[in-house]
Amino acid sequence: MAAGLQVVFGVQKIFNLACGSFYALGAYVGVSAVGWYVGAGGPPALFIVPLALAGLAVGAVGIVVERGLLRFVYDRDETFQLLMTFAIVLMMEDAIRLTWGTAPRSTAGLYLAYGQVQLLGATAPVYNLIVIAASLAIALAIGWLLARTAFGRIIRATADNREMAEALGVDMRRVYAEVFTLGTALGTLGGALVIPTTAAMSEMGIELIVEAFAVVVIGGLGSMRGAFGGALVVGVLRAIAISVYPELEMLLIYLIVIAVLAARPRGLFGGAAA
Amino acid sequence: MTHDHSSRRQFLKLLGAGAGAAAASRLDAPAAGTQASGPVKIGVLTIRAGVAAPVGAAGLRATEWWAERVNNAGGILGRPIQLVVEEESNPKDTVERFRKLVLQDQVEVVLGGISTGVTLALGPVAEDLGTPWLSWDGTTQRGVEETMPNPKWAFKSVDNEVEAIVAGILTPKYFKGIKTVAGIGNDYSYGHDCWESYQAVLRRYVSDVKFVLELFPKLGVTDFTSHIAAIQQSKADLLMCSFWSGDATIIMKQAAAVGLFKTMKGVFTTAGGVHDSLKKEFTPEGLLLGYNTMYFDDPKGSALLKQFVREYKAKYNEYPPYECDHAFFNAESYKVAVEKAAGPAKKWPEKARVVKALEGLEIESLSGKRSWREDHVQMCNFYQGITTHKNAYDFVTIGPLEVVSTKQAMKPAGSKLFEWIAGWKV
Amino acid sequence: MKGGLAVALGAGAIAAAPLVASTYHVLLMLPFMAYAVVLLGLNLLFGYAGLVSFGHALFIGLGAYTGAFLTTHAKIRSLEVILLAAAALGALVAVPVAALCVRYVKIYFGMLTLAFGMVFYTFVLKFYRLTGGDEGLPFLRPSLLGQSLDAMPKTDYLVGPYYYYSLAVLGLAALGMWRIVHSPFGLCLKTIRDNPAKAETLGIGVTRHRFYAFVISAVYAAVGGALLGPPTGNVDPTLAYWTHSGNIVFMTLLGGFTSFFGPVVGAFVFIYLQNWVMSVVPYWRLIFGAMLAVIVILAPDGLMGFVTRRRPALAGRT
C-alpha cells in the first residue's frame, strides 16, 4: 500500500488520502473472490491465486477514479487534489457498506491452509512468509520497471520535469492514468493479500491512511526505498513500544513523523532527488 | 465578574428577546396531553458506520422485527407504530439527531444509543427535553461511576463492566491453578474498565494471582502480531481479552497462527458479539466465551427466541447477537408500560406516566425475563460458557452454558464498584 | 454597498431566527455560528495565505476541552473567561506548531498539520485521567456576562441567551477578521500567496506573515471550538479527529474560500444539508463525497463564486 502511495506521489505529486480506501476495497474483493472460489470447489491450497487476481483486477477502479475525477484537477493547486481524494474516501466508505454491509468479513480458516513452520524457535504461519516474499517480489518488480524499462524512464522523466517530458512528446494523460492505476492496483493487491490474516472492516480505509501516511513520511515522499524503510521503522517501533511502554505506541509514531518532517522533510531514506 | 452598565443592559435586553423567542418557539413543541390517534412515532438511534456498525444494525433489525410483530397484532392501544430512524455517530451530531427526533418529528420515545461517549451526552438532553429515552447498550457511567443516579427520563443499559465481572467469577471455576494473567482490551474506557473489574474479581477468588501484562491497542486495529508476540513472551497462564468487534475474530485468527492457545487458557468476555465469525478452523475449544445478554443457541430458550433466531437467519443469513435482545427489550418494555399506564380506560397516557410505569417493570424478552431496576438500569442474565466444536455450525458455540444474573454480578444502585467487590463473601 | 446590505440582511435574519424558526432549526444555528468563527480563522490561512490546514480540528478540540476542563475541574463557569482562556491556549499551542509548519507550503504543510492534529487526538484519547478519554468531559452550562442561568431549562437557555451570545461573538470575530484582512498585514498575505518570491523582494517576511496568520487562525478555531461545546454538553476526542479537519475544509470550499463570507455561508449550507440528507438516506457520506468532488471540479470558488464572479470587489482578492 505504501508502495502504491509512493509511485503515485512520486510521479503525479498527488498525496492520495484515498489509498486506504483502495486497500479496504482490495480486502473486501479478496474475501468475496476467495468465498466464491471455495464455494465453486477450488482446491484450498491454491486460494492465493484468485485472491491475488481479484486484488489486481479491482485495481482497475483506479482508471475510473483517475479518468472520472482526478484528471480534472491536475492543473489546480495540490490542495484540490488532496480534497478530491478526501471526497473519494467519503464515497468509498459508503460504497463498501452498500456492497458488503457492515459486518466484518473474513476468509475463515484459509490463513492456515499452508501450515506453520518453526522459525528461530517461534511458530510462524507459512502464509505470512508468502506475503513477505510477494511484497519483496513486487518491490523488486517495480524497481526494475522504473529503472530498466522504457515505461519506467518515461515515469521518472515525468516525475523530474513534467513540462520537459511533455515537450519531448510524452502523452501525459496516458502516463498519469497508467501510473495512478498502477498505484491503485498495488493498494488493492496489498489489501487482498493481507486479508486472510485478518478481517475486512468498512472503516479500514480511514484507520489505515494515517498509518500509511506515517510510513511514507518517515520513509520519504516519492521514494520507493523509503516506503519499505518507513514500513520497517514503523513496524519495529510499534513492536518495541508494545513490549516496553504500550501507552506510547501510536503517539510515538506521530511524534516521529513530526520530527522527521521538521528535520528532514524528504524522509529518512529520501535521497536528494526524492 | 465585573462589567459596565451598558453591557448589562444590553444583555438583559437580549435575555428578554431570548425569553420571548423561547416562548414563541415553544408553540411548536408537542402538547402535554398527546393526541390519541394516528400512528405512534418512535425514534430510533442506530450506529451505521465504523467499528460498531454491525452492533447498530443488529439493534435496528430487532426493533424492526418487533415493530412488524406489534403492528400485525394491532399496534399499541390500537395505534400503529411508525419508526423514525436516525444515525448515531459522534456525540455532537447525535445530540442534534436526538433533538430533531423530539422537537421536529415529535416522537413519543427515543430508543437506542450504543457508545458511552454518546449516551453520556444524551442523558442530560433527554432529561431537558422531557422525553423517555431507552438506551440499548450505552450507560451514563463515567468509567465505572454513575453520573446520573436519579434520572427521570433516561433509561440506561446494563453497566458495561458486568461481563468482565461474570468472567471473573467463572474463571476460577473452569481454569483451576491459574497464577499469572495477561490482559488485552481496546484502548478506551470499556477496555480499561473491563480489565480493572476482572482483576478486582479474580483477586477475590485467587489471592496470589499475578497480572503480568496489559495491552491496549487502539479500537479498529487490524494487526495484532506484535501484541501476540508480547503475550507469548509474558508466558502467562491465561489471556483475558475484552474485544467485541471484528478485532476479536482477528486476534483469534492471528493467535491460532502461532498456536497461542496450545499453551495458554483464554477468556473472551465479549467476543460472543461476533460469534458467527469465530470459525472452528481457528477458534479452539476450551476458551471461556461471553455472549453478553443473549445466547442464540440457548437449549432452554423460549419459543420467542427460537422464532426470532429462525427468522433472523432466514432474512439476514446471520445468527443474531445480543444487541437484538437489548433493543427488543427496550421496545417491548415501552409498549407494556404504555398499556399499563393507560389502565382499563385504554386512554393514551402522558409521557410522565409511561416512565413511571417503566420503573421496576418486568417483561418477557428474547432471552427470557428482563426488567428495569427502580433507578432505570436494565436487569437481565449474562450468558457465558466454554467453547465447543460439537454443533451443526461452522463456528464455535458454548457448552456447558453458565447463566449469571445482574442481581449477582452488577453493583447495586448507589454503590461504588470496587468497594462492593471488596465486600463480597467468597 | 450591495455587499454591506447583504451582510446586514444576513445578520438581521440570524438575529430574528429564534422568533420565527422552529426550536430545532434555531438549535442548529448554534453549531453554525461556532463553525463560522472557526472558518473565518481558517480562511485567513486558506483563502488569504494560500495554506490549507488538515489539522485545525486540533484547535477546535483544544478550545472545547479548555471549556470542559474549566467548567468541570476548575469550577470556572464564566463564558468570557472560557473564551479568553481558549484563545490564549490556542495561541500558546499554535506558536510551536506554526513555527514548524509554516516553513513548508502546499502538501507538506497539509501533512504536518495533519500529523499535529493526530498527535493531539491521540493525546486526548490516551491520557484519559486528564481528558476522560473516549468518554470525554462534560461541558457544564457556562454563565454569560456574569449571570448564572442554571435555573432555565437547557433548551430555553440555548435558543435564548446563549444564541445571542454566540451571535455577538460571531459578530465581533467577523469584524476583527475584516479589519485583519483589509489591513496592510492582510495585503501582505495576499501578495505572498500569489507570488512569494515577489513578496520576498518587496521586503515582506514571508515566513513571519504566515506564522502570524496561522496563530490568528488557531485562536479563532479555539474560540469556535469552545462555543461548540455547550450545546452538546460533552466534549470528546472525535472533535479532534482528522476527518473533522477535513469537514471544515469542505465547508470552506463549499461556501467559497475566495470570498470573505464564503466560509460562513459554507458552514450554514453544510450543517443544514447534512441535517436533511442524514434523515433521508443512510448513505449520506456517499452523497457528500460526490458533492465535494463536484465542487472541486466544477466550482472551486464555491457557492459564493457564483456571486463574486460578477462582483470581484467583495471577494477581497487582488
pLDDT digits (tens, 9 = 90+) for A35-92: 888 888 777 777 888 888 888 888 888 888 888 888 887 777 777 777 888 888 888 8
The whole-number pLDDT of residue B217 equals 86
All 3 cell numbers of residue B339? 398499556
In which element (H, E) is residue C68 found? helix C57-72
Q: Please, what's the b/e burial string for B380-407 (b: 16 or more CB within 10 A of its CB; e: otherwise)?
A: bbbbbbbbbeeeeeebbbbeebbebebe
Q: Residues of A numbered 3-22 whose beta carbons fall under 8 angstroms of chain C's beta carbons: which are they?
A: 13, 15
- The C-side interface with A (CB below 8 A) comprises 50, 52, 54, 100, 104, 106-108, 110-112, 114-116, 118-119, 122-123, 126, 242-243, 246, 249-250, 253, 283-286, 288-290, 292-293, 296-297, 300
Return the pLDDT at A134.
Answer: 79
pLDDT over threshold 60, residue A13: no
Q: Is pLDDT of C89 > 90?
A: yes
If DSSP codes are grouped into helix, strand and coil, which group holds residue A50? helix
The string of pLDDT tens digits covering residues C28-80 is: 999 999 999 999 999 999 888 888 898 999 999 999 999 999 999 999 999 99
The domain ranges of chain C are 22-239
Under DSSP, is residue B404 helix (H, G, I), strand (E, B) or coil?
strand
Q: Which three cell numbers stand for residue A228?
A: 519499505
- Calculate what percentage of chain A has a pLDDT beyond 90: 0
For residue A228, pLDDT over 90 is answered with: no
Q: Do residue A22 and residue A107 come from a single domain?
A: yes
Could you read off the pLDDT of C191-250 as tens digits, one per residue?
A: 888 888 888 888 788 888 899 999 999 999 999 999 999 999 999 999 998 889 989 999
Chain C partners within 8 Å of B3 (Cβ) = 145-146
Determine whether the interchain pair C132/B18 forms a contact, defined as Cβ–Cβ distance below 8 Å: no
One domain, residues A13 and A139: yes
Q: B183 falls in which pLDDT band (50, 70, 90)?
A: very high
Share the mean pLDDT of chain A: 75
Name which residue leads in pLDDT, C189 or C309: C189
Q: Model confidence over B53-85: pLDDT tens digits?
A: 899 999 999 999 999 999 999 999 999 999 999
Q: Which residue from B minimizes the CA distance to C233?
A: B121
Residue with cell 423567542: B21
The cell for A134 is 510477494
Question: Which residues on A lie below 8 Å from C106 (Cβ)?
Answer: 77-79
Mark whether A183 and A231 lie in a shared domain.
no
Q: Is the pLDDT of residue A202 over 90?
A: no
Residues B396 and B268 sit within 8 Å (Cβ to Cβ): no
CB contact under 8 Å between C292 and A251, yes or no, is no
Whether residues A160 and A131 share a domain: the answer is yes
A250 touches chain C (CB under 8 A): yes
pLDDT band at B360 (very low <50, low <70, confident <90, very high): very high
Confidence at B174, pLDDT banded by 50, 70, 90: very high
**Residue B47 in this model has a pLDDT that exceeds 80:** yes
Mean per-residue pLDDT for B128-137? 95
Helix (H) or strand (E) holding B10: helix B5-25
Place of cell 452454558: B401
- Which tops the pLDDT comparison, B382 or A237? B382
Residues in chain A within 8 Å Cβ distance of B49: 93-94, 97, 102, 202-203
- Closest residue, chain B, to A244 (C-alpha): B230
Given an 8 Å threshold on Cβ–Cβ distance, is C19 in contact with B20? Answer: yes
What is the number of structural domains in chain A?
2
User: What percent of chain B is modeled with pLDDT above 70?
Assistant: 92
Mutate which of C20, C23, C141, C165 to disrupt the B interface (most B C-beta within 10 Å)? C23
Mean pLDDT is highest, among A31-45, A118-132, A179-193, B377-391, for: B377-391
Q: Which of A183, A202, A221 is the last residue of a domain?
A: A202
Residues A51, A79 share a domain: yes
Backbone phi, psi, residue B178, to 5° = -70, 130
For position A35, what pLDDT does the model report? 84
Residues A197, A259 share a domain: no
Q: Quick one: pLDDT at residue B66?
A: 97
User: Angle A9-C193-C60 (CA atoms, 0-180°, nearest 5)?
Assistant: 75
Enter the C-alpha cell of residue C271. 450543517
Cell numbers placing C305: 463564486
Q: What domains are there in chain B, each with its CATH number?
A: 40-158+304-379 (3.40.50.2300), 162-292+382-422 (3.40.50.2300)
Last residue of a domain, one of A179, A202, A225: A202
Indicate the residue of A93, A109, A247 with minimum beta-carbon distance to B49. A93
Of the pLDDT bands very low, low, confident and very high (cuts 50, 70, 90), residue A121 is low
CB–CB contact B17 C24 (8 Å)? no
Question: Are the C-beta atoms of residues B358 and B155 closer than 8 Å to each other?
Answer: yes
Chains that touch B (3 or more CB pairs under 8 A): A, C
Q: Which of B25, B129, B147 sits opposite C159 (nearest CB)?
A: B25
Query: A104, B220: Cβ pair inside 8 Å?
Result: no
Beta bridge partners of B362: B371
- Structure confidence by residue, pLDDT tens digits, A124-144: 778 877 877 777 787 778 778
In this predicted model, which residue has the larger pLDDT, A270 or B88? B88
Confidence check: pLDDT of C283 > 50: yes
User: What is the mean predicted confidence (pLDDT) over B76-105?
Assistant: 94
Percent of chain C with pLDDT over 70: 96
Confidence band, pLDDT 50/70/90 cuts, at residue A221: low
pLDDT value of position B23: 42
DSSP C45: I
Same domain (yes/no): A132, A228: no
Span C161-177, pLDDT tens digits: 999 999 999 999 999 99
Going by pLDDT thresholds of 50, 70 and 90, the confidence category of residue B104 is very high
C212: cell is: 502570524
Mean pLDDT of B18-40: 52
pLDDT band at C1 (very low <50, low <70, confident <90, very high): low
Distance CA A71, CA A173 (A): 8
Residues 310-369 of B with CB under 8 A from A: 318
Shared domain for A136 and A21, answered yes or no, is yes
Amino acid (1-letter code) at residue B120: L
C-alpha cell at C297: 471540479
- Chosen for mutation from C122, C126, C250 (greatest number of chain A CBs closer than 10 Å) is C122
Measure B371 CA to nearest chain C CA, in Å. Answer: 27
Same domain, A164 and A213: no
With CB atoms and an 8 Å threshold, state whether A202 touches B50: yes
Mean pLDDT of C267-271: 94
Range of the domain at A217: 203-274
Contact call for B11 and C144, based on CB within 8 A: yes
Cβ–Cβ gap B280/A109 under 8 Å: yes
> How high is the pLDDT of residue B248?
92
Give yes or no: residues A132 and A261 share one domain: no
What integer pLDDT is reported at residue B309 of this predicted model?
97
Determine contact: A87 vs chain C, CB below 8 A. Answer: yes
Confidence of residue C2 (pLDDT cuts 50, 70, 90): low
